[in-house]
Structure 1
């Protein structure tokens, strides 16, 4: 991948560009659209900017960049790091980081290997009770994509075992469903450190989702000390009381506030642009980043 770092933030009128959705996934992780189609969908939704933030991979950046040039949609290449506090999953978004950073490359490969191994263990366990095989799961992942629970869910849907992805995660793939397999993941502090070392900007994703582990454990201050720079407040998984608390915490700690759809194509009901980020916040993310440049309309 050609390096696209920069010494000075590019001059660009983010307010004039239009709404920005800073959290979207492609089939390179657990979305259903090709990276280029995510960008095209952003254009169709009237967005001026979109961030591609696949889980633990940057393999969609090149294709998304080409589509950004084609459509005129500004692109913030990014990644969503999977991290963990005890048994609670915590996701950290990293924007405009250098994917060739040694720390990032090492952790990315370790996570990829662990994800696949964990998925294989889960499929083996589920296969004892349901007609599910690894071959079924592979049919629902793009070539080179890291297979995870969403791909298992899609296989279960195709076999008629569950009606949709959400049902799969609420039953067979639930952590109390009997088939869940633990996996090693970095702590949020470690994920933030890797993003910062790679010149990126770290933002906590949907912190009130999945039982609110970050809010319940009261660790936001620790994450700020580790280098966290923002929090995703406007997200469908954050209810109104949680949003009020997050806004208060953002003011207390001086954090950037973002809004996003967490788009997964047909994999989730989330629609591009259902929540967006203030253009001034997008501009500040770009100003702070030193690892990679946004892709801007010519």
Structure 2
């Protein structure tokens, strides 16, 4: 924790899950944006962290090891960010692998639903879309996390939709025609898993859930931080969640949730578009389990 000045983007995705840039490319983007540090927080995998750290050492950018854990509570998808976990812990890695297994099951169910709707799409095509985007290092880890953006990419490639947004709005978003949500890990369990792996848990993008009472339940359970600053939060969201952070003495974090560019559209924001001061890293480090 030698850094004392600068900004950090604590939420970015890579080709190890559903991002479009390799982990090393995310670090290079952080360098170009003038950041002091960047977190790699792929869905249910830490496969991209090692590659990013190597590039960070080369460029003088601190890389924060992270993950975004997929959970469900009361039928709502909730994501819990974990930072500074012990990524050589076999139990932790096995648990992440089990989450990817559930994600795979969900993908299969969505693809089956799409076929029922008359859209000829296969899981082989979806996996090819995911692995075609993944970096060599991520492929070697055998831990690439396949998700809905890869299904959307196939729908777009086969011209069933005209944009990624249409793919989600018509078929893949919550409540859309092919959306399914099988039983998954509860947020409380994710908080425990991250703690047991020596890490720090943070509620990701609470403004997207439209359920602040559920957010408060997770806070009261024992989550350690909340993502106040996010590409999809407006000023009112930031004010509300900053007040929550202060009220419950949580670490207030922030990040772009960068996924890269598809069809010229950046999801959700550019690297460095949402940041916090680098001193937040000291707070996270001090809160480790």
| Alpha-carbon offset, residue 103 of structure 1 | 4.5
SS class of match (1:140): helix
Q: Highest relative contact order (Cα 8 Å, sep 6+), 1 or 2?
A: 1
C-alpha RMSD of the superposition: 1.7
Q: For 1:134 and 1:228, locate their aligned partners in 2 and report how far apart those are by CA, in whole Å.
A: 35
Query: Could you tell me which of 14, 29, 32 is aligned with 2:4?
Result: 14
| Aligned counterparts of 2:243 and 2:97: Cα–Cα separation in 1 | 37
> Partner residue of 1:135?
124
How do 1:1-298 residues align onto structure 2 when only pairs under 5 Å count? 10=1, 12-15=2-5, 18-128=6-116, 129-142=118-131, 143=139, 144=142, 145-209=144-208, 211-213=209-211, 215=212, 218-267=213-262, 268-289=267-288
Deviation, structure 1 residue 57: 0.3
Output the CA distance in 1 between the equivalents of 2:185 and 2:202: 16
In 2: Cα distance, 1:117 partner to 1:201 partner: 28
Q: CA deviation at 1:80?
A: 0.4
Q: Which runs of 5+ in 1 are unaligned?
A: 1-9, 291-298
SS state at 2:160 partner: coil
Match of 2:134?
none
How many residue pairs match? The answer is 274
Following the alignment from structure 1 to structure 2, what is the Cα–Cα distance between the partners of residues 237 and 212? Answer: 12
Q: Which runs of 5+ in 2 are unaligned?
A: 132-138
State the distance in 2 between where 1:13 and 1:117 align.
42
Q: Which runs of 4+ in 1 moved over 4 A?
A: none
State the 1:84 CA deviation.
Answer: 1.0
The aligned residue for residue 135 of structure 2 is none
